[in-house]
Amino acid sequence: MTELILFAGFAGFTVFIGGILANIFNHHIKESPVKYEITHTLMSFGAGVILSALALVLIPTGMEELELLPMAFSFLSGAILFMFIDRYLAKKGGKTATLLAMMMDFVPESIALGAVFAIKPNQAILLAVFIGLQNLPEAFNSFRDLVQSGYTTKKTLIIFFFLSFFGITGALTGHYLLSDYSGLTAHLMTFASGGILYLLIQDIIPESKLDKNYLTSLGATLGFLVGIIGEKIL
């Protein structure tokens, strides 16, 4: 149990670390075209990482555990729900798509981490490291979005600090409540996949694009490669 809490804590605490790094980068490095390109490349890298989690972890679990119609229902439900959430937030003028996508990825994977830990501890440890590495670029980009939405730096860092504990909460939930309910976990992951894919296509990928710049697309490709490497190790 101590090991589960420690590794889940690492997976979650990188959310806070990503926020701190984003704060340093945004407020302590002078504005320049290079900084602008780096920011958008990191946004694209984060999108690639999120996409890899979607394609290599979340959806495969749903396809393995669920029948066709229940799987399709969960996937579409996630996409439709987050379409309405995104429309509501857009009317309020907020930019929280990256944060939503990060949490839609982070929470189900943390639950899966707790469920897997009792059965395959070595695989669960690698999964915790993979989740932690995913959270860094995602949190980096989410910090920027929240600050642009009007949140102060201090308030954003406080939010990220508390969000970092979702890893432990999710892992304990998966370990104690869902380790015997693989179908329910698969529904949760498939539901999250629909929401993540909607947010990626609607908000995150268009926001990361720069005219006459090709590093952003390479950033997304490298982000996806991180997922491939992590999945191969697992």
Q: Which two tokens stand for residue 163?
A: 């969000």
Cα–Cα distance, 157 to 79 (Å, whole number): 28
Instruction: State how many domains the chain has.
Output: 1
**DSSP 8-state assignment for residue 174:** I
**DSSP 8-state assignment for residue 164:** T
CA angle 155, 189, 112 (to 5 degrees): 80
Go through 65-89 and write b for each residue having 16 or more CB atoms within 10 A of its CB, e for each that does not: bbeeeebebbbeebbeebeebbeeb
Q: What is the pLDDT along the chain (234 residues), one digit of tens a residue?
A: 788 888 888 888 988 998 998 888 887 777 777 777 887 888 788 888 888 878 887 888 888 889 999 999 999 998 998 888 888 877 776 667 778 877 877 787 787 788 777 666 776 777 787 778 778 887 888 888 888 888 888 999 999 999 899 889 888 888 888 777 778 878 888 888 888 888 888 877 777 777 777 777 888 888 889 888 877 876
Give me the domain span that covers residue 174: 2-233
**DSSP 8-state assignment for residue 177:** I
pTM for the whole structure = 0.77
Q: Which of 167, 164, 157 is nearest to 20 (CA)?
A: 157
